[in-house]
């Protein structure tokens, strides 16, 4: 089951639901959302009840979201992490979240995917930028991750340079 992402909002509350096998392609729109997180958001809930697995890019993007939430004083909670909690703990990310079990709240407005959206992950450059940002964040969160992901960061930087160069030609 491919990974899916839904982002919903109701006033100053926002909810994110990740389902299936979530990978770097799934979280490109989530990284974009993190980068333009509306200032009025005061409460953010992430639900992993239906998330079967996640890759390191997903965990890095969740870390980006948590760090931005902490900085902006957003009440942040992660629901129904299940076995994903061990993955997050293994990368030192667990300390960024308040874990709870419970029902995902109802939110009035779905903001991703929008009606008629094909929910495509975007272009190759966006995917590479997401992988790079996510892994740099994981390294910032826990020094041990430099050993784990240093090569990923280096290779992704190289790929991103190559992509940008080919686009400018």
The pLDDT of 69-87, averaged and rounded, is 95
Q: In percent, how much of the chain has pLDDT > 90?
A: 91
pTM greater than the 0.85 cutoff: yes
pLDDT tens figures, 90-118: 999 999 999 999 999 999 999 999 865 55
pLDDT at 121: 46
Mind spelling out the 3-state secondary structure of the chain? CECEEEEEEECCEEEEEEEEEECCCCCHHHHHHHHCCCCCCCEEEEECCCEEEECHHHHHHHHHHHHHHHHCCCEEEEECCCCHHHHHHHCCCHHHCCEECCCCCCCCEEEECCCCCCCCCCCHHHHHHHHHHHHHHHHHHCCHHHHHHHHHHHHHHHHHHHHHHHHHC
CATH number, residue 107: 3.30.750.24
List the domain range (segments joined by +) for residue 80: 4-168
**Res. 1: pLDDT tops 80:** no
Least-confidence region, from 25-29, 36-40, 165-169: 165-169
Number of structural domains in the chain = 1
């Amino acid at each position: 089951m491919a990974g899916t992402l839904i982002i919903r909002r109701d006033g100053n509350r926002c909810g994110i639901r990740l389902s299936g096998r979530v990978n770097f392609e799934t979280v490109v729109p989530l990284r974009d959302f993190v980068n333009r997180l509306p200032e009025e958001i005061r409460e953010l809930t992430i639900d992993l009840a239906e998330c079967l697995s996640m890759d390191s890019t997903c965990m890095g993007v969740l870390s980006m979201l948590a760090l931005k939430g902490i900085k902006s004083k957003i009440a942040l909670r992660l629901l129904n992490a299940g076995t994903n909690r061990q993955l997050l703990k293994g990368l030192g990310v667990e300390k960024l979240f308040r874990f709870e079990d419970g029902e995902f709240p109802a939110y009035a407005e779905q903001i991703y995917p929008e009606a008629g959206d094909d929910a495509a992950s975007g272009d190759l450059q966006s995917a590479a930028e997401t992988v790079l940002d996510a892994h740099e964040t994981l390294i910032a969160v826990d020094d041990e991750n430099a050993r784990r992901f240093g090569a990923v960061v280096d290779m992704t930087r190289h790929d991103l340079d190559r992509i940008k160069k080919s686009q400018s030609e």
